[in-house]
Amino acid sequence: MAKAFAYYPGCSLHATAREYDVSTRAVFSALGMDVKEIEGWVCCGASSAHSTDHLLALVLPAHELQAASEMERPVLVPCAMCYSRLKLTLLELERPGKKEEVGKALGKPLGKMPAVLHPMEALREEEIPVKRPLGGLKVACYYGCLLARPQGVVPGEDLENPQGMDRIMARLGAQPVPWPFKNECCGASMFLAKKDLLLRLSRRIVFQAQEAGAEALVVGCPMCHFNLDLAQRGTEHPLPVLYLTQAVGLALGLPPSDLMLKRHFISPLPVLKGKGIWPG
C-alpha cells in the first residue's frame, strides 16, 4: 500500500514559505505518497507558547496530534519548528502524569499518539527516481537547531554532524560539502525583536558555507530559510538557499510551477542555469 500521511503545514507554509508547501506536496505526490492536510489545524504555538506557558505549549500541539491520530496516519511536518514542537510534546507526554494532565485540559483523553516525521526522514528511506541529476552542485546542508537537537528527537541523526540531508543530496547527484556550521543557530524568530543579532548569526553561517566552497545552501526549515535568505539581501556574492524538497523536485524533473524557485530573495537561477539544471 502506498504511504499515507496526515499533513501539518503550519503557519509559515501558508505564508512566507509557500514554495516549501507546494514543493513538498509535489514531491510526495510524484513519489506516490498520499498527503492529506489536517482539517482546521491551528498554530503549534511556536517559540512564543513554550517561552511563556508550559501547559499551552503542550495543549496546542497535542490538539494536532489528536486530529492526526483520528486520521490513523503518521504526521508529516515540513516546518522544523512545528516538527520540534510536536516531537517534544510526544516526549513530554511520556513523562509520568503528563498525558492525563494534557488530556484533561483538552477535555478529551489522549489516545495512541501518531508518529511524527519531517520530509528528511521520510525521503531518507525512499527510492528517488532521479530524472535530472543535480550536476555536482556543491551544497552545504544546513540543519539548524531543530533538525539536530535534542537527543532522541530526530532518530538516526548525529547531534553534532547530522547526515540525513547530505545523503539525500548525494543521491540526487549533488555534492554535499563538509562544513562546521550545520547546526549553529540562525537567530530563530528574533526578526522583530532582535534583528541585528539575527543578521549576525545568519551571516556567520553563510560565510562558513562559502568558505567550504558551497554554491547553495539546503535547508528543511522555513524560519532558517527566511533568515539565511533575508540576511544576504544586498550582499555582494550571496548563496541561494533551497528547500530540501525544491532540490528533490528539481532532480525528479518537476516543472517550475511545482518548485516556485523565483520566490526567494536570493535567486537560485544563475547557479542552477550555470549547472544546466534549471527546468524553465
| Residue 49 touching another protein (CB under 8 A) | yes
Backbone angles phi, psi at 249, to 5 degrees: -60, -40
Nearest CB to another protein, comparing residues 109 and 253: 109
CA distance 258 to 250: 9
How would you label 25-35 residue by residue, b for 16+ Cβ within 10 Å and e otherwise? Answer: bbbbebbebeb
What residue has cell string 548525529? 158
Q: Which range touches another protein (CB under 8 A), out of 46-54, 112-120, 129-137, 167-175?
A: 46-54
| Residue 101 touching another protein (CB under 8 A) | yes
Cell of 4: 499515507
CA distance 204 to 185: 10
| Residue 190 touching another protein (CB under 8 A) | yes
Task: Single out the residue of 167, 208, 263, 278 in contact with another protein (rule: CB under 8 A).
Answer: 263
How many of the other CB atoms lie within 10 Å of CB of 204?
Answer: 16
Alpha carbon of 53 to those of 23, 42, 58, 105, 218: distances in Å? 34, 17, 9, 14, 33
Task: Single out the residue of 29, 100, 105, 111 in contact with another protein (rule: CB under 8 A).
Answer: 105
Size of the site for another protein (CB under 8 A): 57
Cβ contact 58:64 at 8 Å? no
What residue has cell string 539548524? 144
Nearest CB to another protein, comparing residues 24 and 183: 183
CB of 18 to another protein, least distance (A): 8
Residues 127-166 that bind another protein (CB under 8 A): 145, 148-151, 159-160
| Residue 106 touching another protein (CB under 8 A) | yes
CB of 69 to another protein, least distance (A): 16
Binding site for another protein (CB under 8 A): 11-12, 14-16, 18, 40-43, 45-56, 59-60, 63, 95, 101, 104-107, 145, 148-151, 159-160, 183-185, 187-195, 197, 201, 230, 233, 263-265
